[in-house]
Amino acid sequence: MLNIENLHATVDGKAILNGLTLDVGAGEIHAIMGPNGAGKSTLAYVLGGRPGYDVTEGRVLFDGKDLLAMAADERAAAGLFLGFQYPVEIPGVSNLQFLRTALNAQRRVRGEAEVSAGDFLRMAREQAEGLDMSMDMLKRPVNVGFSGGEKKRNEMVQMGIIDPRFAVLDETDSGLDIDALRVVGEGINRIMRRSDKAVLLITHYQRLLDIVAPDHVHVLAEGRIVRSGGPELAHALEREGYGAIAA
């Protein structure tokens, strides 16, 4: 589904990704782990199309199409979802307004009928209940006044409503307590664990992986993948740290 070949990228002229290669197939969840500054968030932003992250070499194919040639909104309409490490606040825009606008914008691009207000509210209520969020929170401005855990749950609600084919989740476990971690992890499984979807899950900690159970775990260091394995690799990283594993 996603094929990354020899990807090099710079930020403000500084090389961050240095020949990263990775294949993620449909039905798979891949976890990316690595020390701070290894390039994990840069990879997420490059895939999402964030300005200022410049690809200097390599290519990325999404369903055989050149992902890097698409604008950010085109990537979203094609089925790519980016979950942020630090979700932004949007004062004055309610969650419900934001989500219905985003969903229908993508549906128009794909030639699909827009979702009515009634059907959308039913979708939103179902997703909110699955992530222990109240509808009152969805009526509030996007992420304004939310705790770190509430922001991450809100992103999972967004992902459930948008229903992407491929999710890039950048440290979704950051700032979560034990209960919120369980809810978010189970939400990822419920929304994305399907044969026609895939996930690239960026994390520092093995604890989320106990819930999500990735098919593959990769260690990113100095802008490239230096080690790959199964879930047991995450446990080794927890015991030994990155130094021994990435050497």
Q: pLDDT 10s digit of each residue in the chain, 247 long?
A: 999 999 999 999 899 999 999 999 999 999 999 888 889 999 999 999 999 999 999 999 999 999 999 999 999 999 999 998 888 899 999 999 999 999 999 999 889 999 999 999 999 999 998 888 888 889 999 999 888 888 888 999 999 999 999 999 998 887 788 888 888 899 999 999 999 999 999 988 788 899 999 999 999 998 999 999 998 898 888 888 777 666 5
Sheet containing 2-11, strands listed edge to edge, beginning at the edge strand earlier in sequence: 14-24, 2-11, 53-62, 65-66
pTM: 0.91
Please state the domain count of the chain.
Answer: 1
Domain harbouring 234, CATH code: 3.40.50.300
Pull the structure tokens for residue 157.
């609600």
The HSE-up count of residue 7 (CA atoms within 13 Å, CB side) is: 33
Residue 201, domain extent = 2-246
| Contact (Cβ atoms closer than 8 angstroms) between residue 144 and residue 91 | yes
Compute the chain's Rg from CA coordinates: 18
Sheet containing 224-229, strands listed edge to edge, beginning at the edge strand earlier in sequence: 80-83, 166-170, 198-202, 29-33, 216-221, 224-229
What secondary structure does DSSP assign to 56-77, as a single string?
Answer: EEEEEEETTEEGGGS-HHHHHH
Give Cβ neighbours of residue 221 (< 8 Å, ≥ 6 apart).
34, 35, 38, 242, 246
Neighbours of 142 (CB within 10 A): 22
